[in-house]
């Protein structure tokens, strides 16, 4: 039985081009970019070029790109780094109840340090409301963090509207674009964001590398101390092979964005149509029309998420729930709880399916048929 991977929102495999780059660069550019000799210079050159390409992909300047170990570090830096740098200007932070834990737990950490955090509510359509943000804004708000697209539902948030609201406010605007970057073209100037996080492994790049865009005017305190790399904002010898892989992935994301979006969107559609044809009872969590093409989150009434995921896996379908699961302790997804409330059964019977490079149209239909068989047995 062929295993079908419908969990590209968790992580993606490296594309052939990325793998090739990583292998090639590992040999050619192993030097330490801080070294004085020729080996170091070659690595420095690679890193500088990578930074330039990545900056160009979001219409930023290369001085505004900080390489990080991934999305988590970029998000942590965006919140904690700015909060610490601006703690004398204000102590209020606004984020949303449906952020990734890399943002939420960083915010909670700041709360313990004496910062005041407002968590904006999420509506049943999976979106936050700019009006709520407007109401929550205070003169001492120093940073606002709203994700571009949610990682569990795929629902795109009103980023442009939020940026407009903040145009005349001193608060920095950070967006976690980890899930959205693969499918949405981003121009940071036009969007009006000050900080933006991207992760390599979500866009068919390597794990262990990502970046934070921080606009030139953004004040940022470092979280890591040492050799003062990345213009003193992020110490640690640069991950040059990772950066080489990342830049290939970013290039491809830009070149193939349209084609990928169409392909993944068609897989998703075929998948949903097949489920309907099989008469499976389900509902979509969040407004389907406003999701990124790759992702959909479905509720299957009368089932339980643990039972579903195990059965799907045994039938060769890899999917996920947003719920944290360690040694069998099962917490309902904080995103669905934010949308529906704690008591709603959808928080305990929902599964995320995310399509990508490993899929085909036929596979998506086949996965739907396997799922239909399981749901019929369980319900």
Q: Name the residues that contact other proteins, by CB under 8 A.
A: 306-307, 310-311, 313-314, 325-330, 377-378
Marked catalytic residue, from 310, 325, 378, 379: 325
Q: Which is nearer to other proteins, 259 or 327 (CB)?
A: 327
Residue that is written with structure tokens 């939020």 in the block: 162
Q: Which is nearer to other proteins, 289 or 343 (CB)?
A: 343
Minimal distance, residue 329 CB to other proteins, in Å:
6
DSSP state for residue 14 in the 8-state scheme? P
Minimal distance, residue 351 CB to other proteins, in Å:
15
Classify the C-alpha dihedral 225-226-229-232 as positive or negative.
positive
DSSP assignment of 23-51 equals HHHHHHT-S-TT-SSHHHHHHHHHHHHHH
> What is the CB neighbour count within 10 angstroms for residue 187?
12
Q: Which is nearer to other proteins, 38 or 326 (CB)?
A: 326
Minimal distance, residue 317 CB to other proteins, in Å:
13
**Which 3 state secondary structure label does DSSP give 170?**
coil
Minimal distance, residue 301 CB to other proteins, in Å:
16
Residue that is written with structure tokens 């213009």 in the block: 231
Q: Is 325 a catalytic residue?
A: yes
323 Cβ contact list (under 8 Å, min separation 6): 305, 330, 331, 332, 333
Q: Which is nearer to other proteins, 3 or 135 (CB)?
A: 3
CA-to-CA distance for 325 and 344, rounded, in angstroms?
19
CA-to-CA distance for 345 and 133, rounded, in angstroms?
28
Q: Which residues are catalytic?
A: 325
């Amino acid at each position: 039985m062929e295993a079908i991977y419908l969990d590209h929102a968790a992580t993606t495999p490296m594309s052939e081009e990325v793998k090739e780059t990583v292998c090639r660069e590992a040999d050619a550019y192993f030097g330490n970019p801080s070294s004085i000799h020729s080996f170091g210079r070659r690595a420095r050159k690679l890193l500088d070029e990578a930074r330039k390409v990545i900056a160009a992909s979001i219409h930023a300047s290369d001085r505004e790109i900080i390489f990080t170990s991934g999305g988590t570090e970029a998000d942590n830096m965006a919140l904690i780094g700015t909060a610490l740098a601006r703690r004398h200007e204000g102590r209020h932070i606004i984020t949303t109840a449906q952020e990734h834990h890399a943002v939420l737990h960083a915010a909670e950490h700041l709360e313990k340090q004496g910062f005041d955090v407002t968590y904006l509510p999420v509506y049943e359509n999976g979106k936050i409301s700019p009006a709520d943000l407007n109401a929550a804004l205070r003169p001492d708000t120093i940073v606002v963090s709203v994700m571009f697209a949610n990682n569990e539902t795929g629902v795109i948030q009103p980023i442009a509207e939020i940026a407009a609201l903040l145009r005349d406010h001193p608060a920095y605007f950070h967006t976690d674009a980890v899930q959205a970057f693969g499918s949405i073209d981003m121009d940071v100037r036009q969007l009006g964001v000050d900080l933006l996080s991207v992760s390599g492994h979500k866009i068919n790049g390597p794990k262990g590398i990502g970046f934070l865009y921080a606009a030139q005017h953004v004040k940022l305190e470092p979280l890591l101390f040492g050799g003062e790399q990345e213009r003193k904002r992020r110490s640690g010898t640069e991950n040059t092979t990772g950066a080489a892989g990342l830049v290939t992935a970013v290039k491809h994301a830009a070149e193939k964005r349209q084609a990928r979006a169409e392909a993944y969107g068609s897989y998703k559609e075929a998948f949903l149509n097949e489920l309907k044809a099989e008469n499976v009872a389900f509902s979509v969590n969040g407004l389907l029309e406003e999701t990124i093409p790759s992702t959909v989150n479905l509720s299957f009434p009368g089932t339980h998420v643990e039972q579903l995921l195990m059965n799907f896996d045994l039938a060769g379908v890899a999917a996920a729930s947003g719920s944290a699961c360690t040694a069998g302790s099962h917490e309902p997804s904080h995103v669905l709880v934010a949308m529906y409330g704690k008591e709603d059964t959808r928080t305990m019977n929902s599964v995320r399916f995310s399509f990508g490079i490993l899929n085909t149209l036929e596979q998506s239909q086949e996965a739907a048929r396997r799922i239909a068989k399981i749901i019929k047995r369980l319900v």
